[in-house]
Amino acid sequence: MNNNTLGAMNWQQDRSESAKNPLIPGARILRGEDARHVYVNSSASMQRFYALSEVNDLGLFSYIEKKASTDGDRPWATQAHPDINLYVYILKGTGTVVLGGEDQTFEQESYDFVEQELVIVPRGVPYRFTGEWEGICFHVRASVFGTAAGTNRFPHPIVTLDKPARPTQEERDALHEPASYVCMDPLFSVGIQGEPVVKGSFKPGNLLACRTDLASVQEGMEANSLYYNLTPVDRQTKNERNLDQARKNAAALGARVIKVADSPSQYNANAGLKQTCTPLTWTDDIAIFNLAEKKASSDIERPFDSHSHPDIEEYKFIVSGSGSVTLGLGDATCEIEKYEFKAGDLVILPRGMPHVDAGEFTAVYFHAKHSVFGKTPGSSLYPHMAYVYTKPPRPTQEERDALYDPGTCLLMNSRETHALHVPNPILKVDKLDQGMKHLRPDLFAE
């Protein structure tokens, strides 16, 4: 059976499942075989783009395959993405991300990365990649500061800053000109061009030496030193070289590459699995980014609890293995939906809808800090909000004590080291009676 046939069968079954809850729009799962394969000339890489829609909190999600050979004859074009951070999680291989460049506004930084490390390209900062690697690439539609990326239909904004070498005229002609501004749709199929959001940079210089009459005025510190000395930052990484690189542009807060050693593993008792929580910070557009490793044996003795995340979607990219997700368990307002998933699938858990996972798989899961509908779940310090529906069995008293009771509503920080318990916002759930028209024949004569 070829992939096209398999994909057709999957989406028909998936659409049938989601039709059980027609008031909740949007796909619940985007299959790897249904992703759109595109050769992206600007990065000289093959990418698979997943069909996100207007109701999704993400503006872009793709799988990138980058070859080292392109560093010589087809280097990555230097680009920037206004208003939003770009996240690239490395699944295989190694490489380097270079931030800044010819533009005077940002001194060049360079970071090496390996698999299972998260690269964060700060909003509006020029960047390019080298090396040979595979990974997932994504960004939100609305940043942590509430700024929308691009436009509603075209939420992937790109500012091109150079025009690198290409071996053929056709490829050279297809590159954007420097200073061009383009917004692409999530499938990278069509875009719109606009006026450059930035036409250039300007440094006025300090002309104090020209004013001898102001000789008594003390010259201040260099701007970057002021930011570094005066602004406390969250130490997301222990890598001293990376910290030194980030000091070159201290006004751009946050880590650029979060190393494997920066995300220690822990046991999630409510899910019955091993997870690593990436140390994100206040300026990140995503609230959590975790790597989860689940065993099938947990389904018998340590099953998932059913829980939801009010006001925000949760995304789960399946790195390896397979399993299933059940939606609606424990919520009387929802019909039960169930989806089987495998490596390469992107599972989308609708906001406020309970979900339970099963199977044996490795996955990365994450969600935005600011939803497409303008909602901000939780708080700045505790942006990971969860509402619990069920309390599944556990083989030991220690594990049972670690579970949350149904009706618990809590806010967690991105590293899941602390939680705030808040009042349960749901007092009662019932279905409204729609069969009382016979009581008012004066209103319903039919």
Q: Are 425 and 377 in contact (CB under 8 A)?
A: no
Band the pLDDT of 1: cuts 50, 70, 90: very low
| pLDDT of res. 332 | 87
Burial profile 39-58: b = 16 or more Cβ within 10 angstroms, e = fewer: ebbbbbbbbbbbbbeebbbb
pLDDT tens per residue, range 54-79: 999 999 999 999 999 999 999 999 99
Q: Which distant-in-sequence residues (6+ apart) come within 8 Å of 299 by Cβ?
A: 358, 359
Q: Are 363 and 334 in contact (CB under 8 A)?
A: no
Q: Which distant-in-sequence residues (6+ apart) come within 8 Å of 121 by Cβ?
A: 81, 85, 86, 87, 88, 97, 99, 127, 256
pLDDT tens per residue, range 417-441: 999 999 988 887 777 888 888 888 9
Band the pLDDT of 2: cuts 50, 70, 90: very low
Nearest residue to 258 via CA among 275, 224, 274, 234: 234
| pLDDT of res. 201 | 75
Query: Is residue 279 pLDDT above 70, yes or no?
Result: yes
State the number of CA atoms in the 13 A half-sphere of 94 facing the CB: 4
pLDDT tens per residue, range 28-51: 999 999 999 999 999 999 999 999
pTM of the model: 0.93
Query: Is residue 196 pLDDT above 90, yes or no?
Result: no
Compute the distance between CA of residue 57 and CA of residue 79 in angstroms, rounded to an integer: 23
Q: Which amino acid is at 339?
A: Y
Compute the distance between CA of residue 442 and CA of residue 198 in angstroms, rounded to an integer: 65
Give the DSSP H/E element, type plus range, for residue 359. strand 355-368
pLDDT tens per residue, range 299-340: 999 999 999 999 999 999 999 999 999 999 999 889 999 999
**Average of per-residue pLDDT across 22-31:** 95
pLDDT tens per residue, range 100-125: 977 678 999 999 999 999 999 999 99
| pLDDT of res. 428 | 79
Q: What is the mean pLDDT of the chain?
A: 92
